[in-house]
Structure 1
Amino acid sequence: MRIPKLASVFLLVVCLVVYLTYVKKHVDSMTPSDSKDPNQSRNGKDELCHSEESNFLYGIMFDAGSTGTRVHVFKFKKTPNGAPKLAHETFKAIKPGLSPYADDPEKCTAGIQELLNVAKENVPCDLWKSTPLVLKATAGLRLLPGEKAKQLLDKVKDIFQASPFLSREDCVSIMDGSDEGISAWITVNVLIGSLHGQEQNTVGILDLGGGSTQITFAPRDDKTIQTSPIDFITSFQMFNNTFSVYSHSYLGLGLMSARLAILGGLEGMPLEEGNTLVSPCLAPDYEEQWEHAEVVYTIKGQKAGEPLYESCYSKVEKMLYRKVKKAEEAKDMDFYAFSYYYDRAVDIGIIDEKTEGNIKVEDYEAAAKKVCKSMETDQGENPFLCLDLTYIAALLQELGFPKDKVFKLARKIDNVETSWALGATFHYIESLHKH
């Protein structure tokens, strides 16, 4: 039977359509659905995804502190000697920290994702897979019960490992207090350029956080190394040099934890119903509620009697008794101080919030006496200022600093935050290279 010419043409067209459909499906199956163009951005935008230059690398460090979570996105320029040089930092902070989500870790997701988006916007997307993503938690999580802290960190780890960045098994951890001090020491000395020269040019650091406080410096006198407790001295290698540093973190002596102790409370222990913390460090007519580490305390000032400063200083001395070790050599060295040391200096007008400057121990003491005196008749805008300044003045003297000791105050050096984050990122990148 002969097939009509029109039917033959129709059959040929059908065969052609079937063949083209097959070819299209076969080609599609070999093409990743999320990447029409190999240079297409993975964030859904129509921007090209390409690296600026091959001689840059990046590191992302999350700082999970007691009062907030911050992300630092560091851009480093590779150098011939293997020690990368910081080219740029992007920084963003959110409140609260992770600790408030201890009973419901899922709720921390939105904040972590918000900070991850900052990283995605600032790291070229073809470098995402090779850019380490790390979170280190500090005193806020150290003070939580172990299981609660673990659940929070496990949640963050899940979020990190679902991200496009490089996240190893150790990408999320609670930072040891001495590591915090050493990393901050590295940060400051990298930024002022002293770690690429002789160790004798380094400066010490003082960091006063919410839950803990650190002192770190490189001893120049062998006697300091020989007479210090063994866990106060740490040696490490960096930039092809070995550094020995005196470093100690005092957990519970950060400003917020110290406040609670001076007021007479215990960390993580709510008061029985109807009980109040009464303190001579507060204005006599003051009575309010204060929240610390998810516990709400009712606090009030003591009735007028002795001068406020003397009464408060006595309380602070008792709280600090035998809790701090003097570092004799430290008094003769240059020190940078930051965090709450900086913030309270701003409060008393020694420095402007956006600038750095110098301060003496006696400046804190004089300001404490002045503020405490004024609070005998007027509680002022900051009800804790008398307590905070008195504590700082006493703490610095307990650490071995004389009243005329001058400290350099800095929130940033060369536009980079003076926190432990940069130093910890250097350490982590070096560990990646060693492996």
Structure 2
Amino acid sequence: MRIPKLASVFLLMACLVAYLTYVKWHIEGIKPALFKVPYQHSGTESDDDKQTSPDLSSDRFQYGIMFDAGSTGTRIHIFKFLLEENEPPKLSHETFKAIKPGLSAYADDPDKCREGIEELMEVAKGTVPESLWNSTPLVLKATAGLRLLPGEKATQLLDKVREVFEESPFLAKGDSVSIMDGTDEGISAWITVNFLIGELNDSDGATVGMLDLGGGSTQITFSPQDKTIQTSPIDYITSLQMFNRTHTLYSHSYLGLGLMSARLAILGGVEGQPLGGSQELVSPCLSPDFEDRWEHAEVVYTVKGQKAGEPVYESCYNKVEKVLYRKVKKAEEAKEMNFYASSYYYDRAVDIGAIDENIGGVIKVNDYSEAAKKVCNSIVETPQEHPFLCLDLTYISVLLQELGFPKDNVLKLARQINHVETSWALGATFHYIESLSRQQMTEHTGKEDKMAALSAQ
């Protein structure tokens, strides 16, 4: 009787080894991997794109679909990644399309938002091979437009989007539709830039910091040293896993300090609480003879320049300092690092001729300050094409110094790197796919543990 018992034990062990080998192979098969083909960008994939791509089976590719639901429009990014074993991914191709208006325009009639989402969904169906539809993550992240809406209206809009997503053939999970908070925006933009410059995959590489100045909020994100980690507020420090590496980041979003919200505060208005009566705002940052209408967050204000007194720049600077007083934490380490800056940092640098609108460039913090002085002190005699430029430049220069950037610090400004937009969309897609991969691995590990436990019994 001893021989059959031993044979049974060996047979059971052999089955267990075979199962664990299969699980290990299957888990490794879902890990992200690195592209070996050059990036090519266009609205759709052309015949030339197909000819220059290697002849690989479709299971070597991973697609990700990201809807960017902003305040002025909704944009779809369809990213194509090429996978190779035990390597992080590289971007092969991007398909992009934008429609207007943004979701928030349908706040009073949510059903109308379906048409635009369905239109963009057809773009995704025409881009992603049908065999990969059910494994392609589908995500929508809403930003400023929905953040400003009352909670109930925002929820109704997102529910309509979820209906369309659930009807689609793509991989839509419970967290596929959401409002993105400012910190996530900053982190995702940081991922995008560092991936595109090749530092995210380099274990010895020095990552760069990221500054973003939007309309309602502004973000700063960088990889800090131990001293900064120990001395910063706990909610400023976060960790994320990306391509089998853990990154510790200093990241914070200052809500209400985006350029448009700050402009309102400098003019004397209050976000979400429009003035009664004529809603008239008077500011020393505008030409003394200036009067016009300005709309912000669906409120129309009459804005006027303050009558001449002390020099315009000094008056404006003092007003900006009061608005920013004790609202920003200085990041001492920032002055020792390389930073990219985007959005209104870029736009205002274009306005003063510091960089080329199409290719970007570099700018010193002091260049914003000197341009502010020049513009502010000339608006009394010279009518301005951009009446808010004095205010905006002064605000940017003071904000950067409050964040910890000396006047001689140099910032890199780029809308695109290697023909890829430096927006948060690519980084958010990477992060989401990584999260799905970890979730799948956890599920498989759980099944493995259960099998081992059953075998032990």
Tell me the TM-score normalised to structure 1 length.
0.84
In the TM superposition, 1:61-72 aligns within 5 A as 61-72=66-77
Q: CA deviation at 1:343?
A: 1.0
Aligned with residue 216 of structure 2, among 211, 236, 256? 211
How far has the Cα of 1:82 moved from its partner?
4.8
**1:116 correspondence with 2:121:** yes
How far is the alpha carbon of 1:279 from its aligned partner?
1.1
Number of the residue aligned with 1:251: 255
CA deviation map 1:267-290 (0-9, x unaligned): 222331323011111222222221
Partners of 1:309 and 1:95 in 2: CA distance: 38
Alignment of 1:30-429 (within 5 A): 53-198=58-203, 200-219=205-224, 221-429=225-433
Q: Indicate how the Cα distance of structure 1 residues 294 and 191 shifts in structure 2: closer, same or farther if over 3 A, else same.
A: same
Query: Quick check: which one's helix share is greater?
Result: 2
Pick closer, same or farther for the CA change 1:199–1:263 going to 2, 3 Å: farther
2-side partners of 1:120 and 1:367: how far apart?
A: 48
Distance 2:291 2:73 in 1: 26
How many residues align? The count is 384
1:259 to partner: Cα distance: 1.1
Structure 1 residue 99: Cα displacement: 2.6
RMSD value over aligned CA atoms? 1.8
Task: Kindly indicate whether the alpha-carbon contact (under 8 Å) linking 1:140 and 1:211 is maintained by their aligned counterparts in 2.
Answer: no
Aligned-partner SS, 1:80: coil
Q: Secondary structure at the match of 1:100?
A: helix
Give distance in 1, aligned partners of 2:71 and 2:317. Answer: 26
- Which residue does 2:9 correspond to in 1? none
Q: Is the 8 A contact 1:65 1:140 kept in 2?
A: yes
Equivalent position SS for 2:341: strand
State how far apart, in whole Å, the 1-side matches of 2:416 and 2:264 are.
29
2:78 and 2:94 in contact (8 A); partners too: yes
- Cα distance in structure 1, aligned partners of 2:332 and 2:81: 37
CA separation of 1:171 and 1:199: change in aligned 2, threshold 3 A: farther
8 Å contact from structure 1 (residues 90, 122) kept in 2: yes
Larger radius of gyration: 1
Q: Deviations over 1:7-42 (max 9, x none)?
A: xxxxxxxxxxxxxxxxxxxxxxxxxxxxxxxxxxxx
Tell me by how many angstroms 1:321 deviates: 0.7
Q: Deviations over 1:339-389 (max 9, x none)?
A: 111111111111111102100111111111122222223342222111111
Structure 2, gaps ≥5 residues long: 1-55, 441-457
Instruction: Please state whether the residue corresponding to 1:136 is helix, strand or coil.
Output: strand
* Distance in 2 (alpha carbons) for counterparts of 1:119 and 1:293: 32
The CA deviation at 1:398 is 0.4
| Structure 2 Cα separation of the partners of residues 214 and 411 of structure 1 | 16
Q: Which runs of 5+ in 1 are unaligned?
A: 1-50
- SS at 1:119's partner residue? helix
- Provide the TM-score with structure 2 as the length reference: 0.80
Residue 201 of structure 1 aligns to a residue in which SS? coil
